[in-house]
Copies of this chain bind each other. A is one copy, B any other.
């Protein structure tokens, strides 16, 4: 079990280190990176203190550089690797009515070109995964043809799929709503799944834990997709209401445990399953690097608890129809305080047992606050 925890791999997103906010306000913080390189530097801190965050996802165009090989080398120098490439087809005025599903073929072409460009970047960075999230949808009934938009989506996905190399995949993310408020073109796992099944093994579903309707049982979806070999990745975060993008585990740590249990039970924790565990969060009011460290730790704790479940006892109780007995086995693992265990794991890895304290003591924050006083802090550019 300690082995399993030591080899955990949680990818952090470059954009979590930049400023973010709501439509009401983006509160500026101090020490925020100004360049993709500086974001990678911050991501490297998270790995430095947790030991399980060895890669960082990029977002194009927010992380566009002239020389991706150089960026990858910079990352390597910092002790991390470049992970998934996230495409962005939602921030040009052209995309007001959609990107790959826009009624205007010229806009669709532009959006597809961007997606293909992202695959080019993957070739340069050595990334395996292209994450596709489309904000496409409509705000008003009648605004556009729901079915025609699916046709356009299918066409774009096929074009991207065909462009993928042998060791590349795309991850199709779904989201219930926001920024589209009436229809969203990929609103749920079923839609993502159906498109992926048609395309083949290199198309997988990405589960963002904040993208569901109220009451959705996310661990069911995880179990189902693993059974179908279609779970490609997680975008971890947490929410009380909508897509709040809070720190994973902050809103409902028991849900995170249940999700991680299904991951373990369905074989998704094994490296050969190819499931990517990524954070996708917005630290609107809390310090960003600390927020990432805490999030990584929350995933670690949920994972440790999931690994602790006595599966023999659980299955025995389940098979016997012992409702309370099975629940009790499950809860025993959840109620265990795994922080001492994780402290040991960290010490085994040569790390400080308390990553937050160690980070705070490192002086990194004070250093970047001073260094990054001038220039334009990175953000979403919304």
A104 to B294, CA, bound (A): 25
Task: Pull 28 A–B residue pairs with CB atoms less than 8 Å apart, ordered by A.
Answer: A21-B179, A21-B382, A25-B382, A139-B244, A140-B327, A141-B258, A142-B314, A142-B329, A142-B330, A145-B265, A146-B224, A147-B223, A147-B226, A147-B262, A181-B241, A183-B220, A188-B190, A190-B194, A190-B224, A193-B194, A197-B197, A215-B240, A215-B241, A252-B252, A286-B324, A328-B356, A335-B337, A337-B337
CB distance from A318 to the nearest CB of B (A): 5
Question: Top 9 closest A-B pairs, CB basis?
Answer: A190-B190, A142-B330, A213-B213, A22-B179, A214-B214, A181-B244, A337-B337, A140-B327, A146-B223
Most chain B beta carbons < 10 A, residue from A142, A194, A242, A315: A142
The answer to whether A150 and B251 touch (CB under 8 A), given A142-B330, A178-B241, is: no
Q: How many identical subunits does the complex contain?
A: 4
A28 to B139, CA, bound (A): 17
Interface size on A, residues (CB 8 A): 107
Q: Which of B103, B214, B291 contacts A213 (CB 8 A)?
A: B214
A7 touches B (CB below 8 Å): no
Q: Which residues of B contact A22 (CB under 8 A)?
A: 23, 178-179, 382
Q: Which residues of B contact A252 (CB under 8 A)?
A: 252, 254-255
CB distance from A231 to the nearest CB of B (A): 12
Q: Which of B20, B215, B246, B323 contacts A214 (CB 8 A)?
A: B215
A242 and B177 contact, CB distance less than 8 A? yes
Q: Which of B90, B93, B216, B321 contacts A97 (CB 8 A)?
A: B321
A143 and B21 contact, CB distance less than 8 A? no
CB distance from A123 to the nearest CB of B (A): 28
The answer to whether A139 and B258 touch (CB under 8 A), given A24-B90, A214-B214, A217-B183, is: no
A197 to B265, CA, bound (A): 25
Within 8 A of B (CB), among A304-347: 314-315, 318-321, 323-324, 326-331, 334-337, 339
A336 to B214, CA, bound (A): 29
A194 and B228 contact, CB distance less than 8 A? yes
A215 to B242, CA, bound (A): 9
A233 touches B (CB below 8 Å): no
- Among residues of B, the one whose C-beta sits closest to the C-beta of A381 is B25
* A166-202 to B contact mask, C-beta < 8 Å, 1/0: 0000000000111101111001111101100100000
A364 touches B (CB below 8 Å): no
A330 and B286 contact, CB distance less than 8 A? no
Q: Which of B91, B140, B143 contacts A24 (CB 8 A)?
A: B91
Q: Which of B143, B176, B179, B184 contacts A323 (CB 8 A)?
A: B143
